[in-house]
Each structure stands twice: as structure tokens, then as C-alpha cells.
């Protein structure tokens, strides 16, 4: 039976990790894996998470299952974090998932269940797992232009032209903030234009928001998602807690269905629970419970927000330092986009050959499409990277 299996393509990022580990150079820099690192190269456990875990260890008296959709208190806390008061709570169905990836997968499953012929409009480029999951599910992908390799910003006119070809029953996948892999984001006026196109075409927005708090702040990063959810008849939102709570291995995410008609909420909630049952039954609870404790405790939430803000400002500082260093070394402002991008990632907009040159000549490891993890830098390695980029002739 299993002799029919075929070898699957190797994960390029995991292969990059292995190559980095085997590189003996002391000056090597890992900008590939998408996890936050502090100045020492550690991905720390946040203070509020440690405090919540300690309390949970002392107080939790059972590990029995939660509901199929997870603890309702987690859903309430996350809906409030992501959507604020943009829509009434009774307009939102929500289910916990194994990480943000689980939320994305469940959303695609939901779309396929509701509308098997739906086309999924996906930004070019996007997070590679979006494409991988859609291909695995056999769903039709329609790429829309997003990144301008010349300006390293959003190719907005081209994006709008492509989105205008969507039809009622199609889904447009959008990044809520901190676009992965480019770091280039829409501004408020551009989001308004996207909403207008969605209203005209009847396409349904699906928002993947994995980096809330990493860009311009918790509320600022959620502003576009809130605006979309409040303006369209229906909306899907896949949210991750991996980055902003630093609980990567706890696999904590949530899928939300927003509808302006509150009469549909029970049907939507039951459907989300059904999908969870088919795929993994009950979702993980440990990370979700920690997030709930933090978001509903005034002191824990204040400490978490303060540490998250330190993380955000650290990445912004690295961006500004790198842009300034490159301007000094190159005598050009062509790298100013690095200070304008937001989140963990920026895309240099160079060729795979140049990326390989950076690795071979300088020990700089980034994904082949030139996506680099800004959080993989520190004040000492920024000048090393800047010199390598200039020496490579990028």
C-alpha cells in the first residue's frame, strides 16, 4: 500500500536551519526562521506567561477536555483583543485551534464545505503554507499582485486591479498587519479602497492576523481587521498567539466567523465545533488558558503589554539602525523601506542568486525569496549584515 507514496518537497526553511547549524563561521547570522529572538539570540518566555503558568500549576485541579470549540472564556478574550468593539460579540462565532496554522486550515476547510467552487485570492507573495495547504485541499488559487520589487512597497494599483476580478462566492485572503514575507503594509486609505472592492464584488474577506502588537501596537495593528469586519456582511479571521505571547510550542490560535446577521451565529458556532471534531476533536487548552488568564487579569495584562511593546520597539530600532547603516555604507537611501516596513520580516527584493551569495560569502542565512527575519539581528550584527549587503552589490 504505502509503496505508492511519493517524497514530499523539503521544507526550505527547515533546510536553511540545518545548513546554518553546520556552518562553522563565528560571524554567521540566522535570518531565516520566523521566531522572535532577543539581543542574546534567545526566544524568551514572557514574564506574564511565567506568572500565569505558576498560578495555573497551583490552582488547576483537572485536565479534562474543554468543549469542542475550546474554553468560551478564551474566545471572549481573543474576540475582544482582535475586534474590540468593532462588531457586537453576538455577531462572532469562534473556535480555538492548534495555532494560527490550525485556524487557517480550518478556515479553508470551512470555505470548501460552504462553497466547493470558491476561488481563493492570495497575495503574491504570501506565507508559503497558505499555498501549500490550499494545494493540498485542491482549492483554486488566484494570485493577486502585492509587492513591488522596485520600491519594496505595496504594488497597490496592481493589487486593486486583480481584486476587482473576484466574484461573489470567492474569498480574498488578506494579512491583517505585518505582511509575511514582505513587511510592506497597506495604509488606512488603501484598506478603505480594498473594502470598497470587496463590497462591490461580493467576495468574502479572510484575514490572517499572526503578528498583532509587533507592528505599530496592539490596537493599531488590529485597526484594519476591525474595519473590514465592521464593513462587510461576512468575514473570517484566523488569529495566532504564538508571536505576541511568545508561546510558539503551545499551539494557540483561534478562528472567528463574523456575520452582520446575529441569527446565523448558532449555525456558525456549531459548524466550527463540527470541523474541530473532524480534525482533532478538542483543541489544546494550556496556551489558551494562559492567554485567557493574562487578558482578563489587570496586572498580568499590563505587564504583558509592556513587554510586548519592548519587543515591538526593539524590532523597530533594529530596522532604523539597519536602514541608517546601509545609507551610510551605500551613500544611497534605497534601503529606506526597511525602516518603513513593520513586523518581523522584510523582503530585500533581490534574486535567489544574491541570497546564495550572501550565504556563501558572508554566512548570512535568509529565505531564497530574500525574506529576512529582522528579529534575528542585534545591535552588533546589524553592521555585519549591512556591509554584506553592500559588498554583495544588492
- What local confidence, expressed as pLDDT, does residue 11 receive? 76
Please tell me the predicted confidence (pLDDT) of residue 33.
82
DSSP three-state, residue 380: coil
Question: What pLDDT was estimated at residue 102?
Answer: 98
Give yes or no for residue 182 having a pLDDT over 90. Answer: yes
The domains located in the chain, with CATH, are 10-45+310-391 (3.90.1150.10), 65-296 (3.40.640.10)
The tens digit of pLDDT for each residue in 271-315 reads 999 999 999 999 999 999 999 999 999 999 999 999 999 999 999
Tell me how crowded residue 149 is: count the other CB atoms within 10 A of its CB: 13
Q: Which is nearest to 253 in space by CA: 211, 306, 299, 310?
A: 211
Question: Virtual CA dihedral for 37, 38, 41, 45, nearest 10 degrees?
Answer: -70
Average pLDDT over residues 224-229: 98
- Give 54-100 pLDDT, tens digit per residue: 999 999 999 999 999 999 999 999 999 999 999 999 999 999 999 99
Helix (H/G/I), strand (E/B), else coil: 214: coil
Q: Distance between CA 31 and CA 314 in Å, rounded?
A: 16
Active-site choice (148, 170, 208, 285): 208
Catalytic one of 48, 75, 127, 304: 127
Peptide bond into 125 cis (omega under 30): yes
Specify the pLDDT at position 88: 97
**CB contact at 8 A, 250 and 284:** yes
> Looking at 86, 94, 210, 239, which residue is catalytic?
210
| pTM, rounded to two decimals | 0.96
Which of these is catalytic: 51, 243, 285, 339?
Answer: 243
149 in active site: no
- On the 0-12 / 13-18 / 19+ scale of CB atoms within 10 A, 374 is buried
Banded model confidence at residue 15, pLDDT cuts 50, 70, 90: confident
* In the chain, % of residues over pLDDT 70: 100
Establish whether 57 is a catalytic residue: no
Task: Please state, in angstroms and rounded to a whole number, the distance separating the CA atoms of residues 186 and 144.
Answer: 14
pLDDT, position 158: 98
Select from 96, 136, 94 the least CA-distant residue to 112: 136
Could you identify the residue written with the cell 555585519? Answer: 384
Decide if 84 contacts 219 (C-beta within 8 A).
Answer: yes
Contact 253, 99 (CB under 8 A): yes
* Position 18 pLDDT exceeds 90: no
Q: How far apart, in whole angstroms, are the C-alpha atoms of residue 259 and residue 247?
A: 30
Angle, nearest 10°, between helix axes 218-231 and 188-201?
20
What was the pLDDT predicted at 235?
98
The answer to whether 210 is a known catalytic residue is yes
pLDDT exceeds 80 at position 12: no
The cell numbers describing 16, all together, are 536553511
Q: Are 107 and 158 in contact (CB under 8 A)?
A: no
Q: How far is CA 331 from each of CA 191, 324, 328, 334, 349, rounded to the nearest angstrom?
A: 34, 10, 5, 9, 19
Please tell me the predicted confidence (pLDDT) of residue 16: 87
Mean pLDDT on 187-195: 98
Element housing 101 (H / E): helix 99-114
Residue 242 grid cell = 504564538
pLDDT confidence band for 41 (50 / 70 / 90): confident
Which runs of E-coded beta strand occur in the chain?
Answer: 29-30, 92-98, 119-124, 140-145, 147-148, 153-154, 171-175, 204-209, 234-240, 252-259, 345-347, 364-365, 371-373
Residue 369 is among the residues annotated as catalytic for this protein: no
As beta bridge partners, residue 219 has: none
**What's the rounded Cα separation, in Å, for the pair 323 and 304?**
29
Q: Measuring CA to CA, which residue among 115, 84, 124 is closest to residue 256?
A: 84
- On whether the CB atoms of residues 104 and 130 are closer than 8 A, the answer is yes
Cα-based distances in Å from 157 to 11, 79, 153, 162, 199:
33, 32, 12, 9, 18
Where residue 140 falls among pLDDT bands split at 50, 70, 90? Answer: very high
Res 136: pLDDT: 95
Residue 9 pLDDT greater than 90, yes or no: no
Between CA 94 and CA 223 the distance in angstroms is: 19
CA distances from 76 to 31, 73, 80, 231 (A): 35, 5, 6, 21
Pairwise CA distance, residues 315 & 292, whole Å: 26
d(C-alpha 212, C-alpha 385), whole Å: 27
Distance of CA 151 to the CA centre of its chain: 23
Rounded to 10 deg, the angle between the 298-330 and 47-59 helix axes is 150
For residue 221, what is its C-alpha cell? 495593528
Strongest mean pLDDT among 11-20, 203-212, 362-371: 203-212
Amino acid at each position: 500500500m504505502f509503496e505508492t507514496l511519493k517524497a514530499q518537497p523539503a521544507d526550505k526553511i527547515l533546510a536553511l536551519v540545518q545548513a546554518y547549524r553546520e556552518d562553522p563561521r563565528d560571524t554567521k547570522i540566522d535570518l531565516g526562521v520566523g521566531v522572535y529572538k532577543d539581543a542574546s539570540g534567545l526566544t524568551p518566555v514572557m514574564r506574564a506567561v511565567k506568572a500565569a503558568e505558576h498560578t495555573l500549576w497551583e490552582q488547576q485541579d483537572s485536565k479534562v477536555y474543554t468543549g469542542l470549540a475550546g474554553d468560551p472564556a478564551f474566545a471572549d478574550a481573543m474576540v475582544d483583543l482582535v475586534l474590540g468593539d468593532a462588531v457586537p460579540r453576538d455577531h462572532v462565532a469562534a473556535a480555538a485551534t492548534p495555532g494560527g496554522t490550525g485556524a487557517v486550515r480550518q478556515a479553508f476547510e470551512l470555505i470548501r464545505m460552504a462553497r466547493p467552487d470558491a476561488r481563493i485570492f492570495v497575495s503574491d507573495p504570501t506565507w508559503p503554507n497558505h499555498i501549500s495547504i490550499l494545494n493540498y485541499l485542491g482549492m483554486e488559487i488566484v494570485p493577486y499582485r502585492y509587492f513591488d520589487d522596485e520600491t519594496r512597497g505595496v504594488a497597490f494599483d496592481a493589487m486593486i486591479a486583480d481584486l476587482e476580478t473576484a466574484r461573489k462566492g470567492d474569498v480574498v485572503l488578506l494579512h491583517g498587519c505585518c505582511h509575511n514575507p514582505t513587511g510592506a503594509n497597506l495604509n488606512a486609505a488603501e484598506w478603505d479602497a480594498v473594502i470598497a472592492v470587496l463590497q462591490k464584488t461580493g467576495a468574502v474577506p479572510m484575514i490572517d492576523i499572526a503578528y498583532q502588537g509587533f507592528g505599530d501596537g496592539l490596537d493599531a495593528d488590529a485597526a484594519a481587521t476591525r474595519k473590514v469586519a465592521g464593513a462587510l456582511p461576512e468575514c473570517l479571521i484566523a488569529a495566532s498567539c504564538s508571536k505576541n505571547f511568545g508561546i510558539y510550542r503551545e499551539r494557540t490560535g483561534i478562528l472567528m466567523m463574523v456575520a452582520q446577521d446575529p441569527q446565523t451565529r448558532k449555525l456558525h458556532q456549531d459548524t466550527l465545533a463540527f470541523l474541530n471534531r473532524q480534525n482533532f476533536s478538542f483543541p489544546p487548552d494550556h496556551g489558551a488558558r494562559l492567554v485567557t488568564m493574562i487578558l482578563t487579569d489587570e496586572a498580568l495584562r499590563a505587564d504583558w503589554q509592556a513587554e510586548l511593546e519592548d519587543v515591538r520597539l526593539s524590532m523597530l530600532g533594529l530596522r532604523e539602525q539597519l536602514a541608517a547603516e546601509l545609507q551610510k555604507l551605500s551613500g544611497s537611501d534605497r534601503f529606506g523601506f526597511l525602516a518603513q516596513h513593520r513586523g518581523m520580516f522584510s523582503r530585500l527584493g533581490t534574486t535567489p542568486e544574491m541570497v546564495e551569495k550572501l550565504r556563501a560569502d558572508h554566512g548570512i542565512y535568509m529565505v531564497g525569496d530574500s525574506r529576512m527575519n529582522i528579529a534575528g539581528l542585534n545591535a552588533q550584527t546589524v553592521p555585519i549584515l549591512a556591509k554584506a549587503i553592500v559588498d554583495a552589490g544588492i
